[in-house]
Amino acid sequence: MLGAICLLMKAMVHGAKRQRYDERNALVDYKEEIEELVLQDASNKIKDLPQNVPTIFTYNKFNRTYSY
């Protein structure tokens, strides 16, 4: 996923500098990278899907603390 995010940021930088051809090439590379990532995660069997989908907080190991 890091490669795809870097390509998207590269496209934004080229867009800010008005380098349109470089921006388009970076966007094409980004779309190809995303398609590869989606195909890697694809599965036809329902048993391969995760049972519990974690939230962004559990992914980042965020712990809530409450004080009363």
Euclidean distance between CA atoms 37 and 29, whole angstroms = 12
**Residue 2 corresponds to which tokens in the numbers above?**
């890091």
Euclidean distance between CA atoms 2 and 37, whole angstroms = 11
Q: Which pLDDT tens digit goes with each residue over 11-29?
A: 888 888 888 888 888 889 8
Nearest CA-CA partner of 9 in 38, 22, 56, 59 = 22
| Residue 44 DSSP code | S
Rg (CA), the chain: 18
Q: Which residues of the chain have pLDDT under 50?
A: none
Cβ pair 24, 54 in contact under 8 A: no
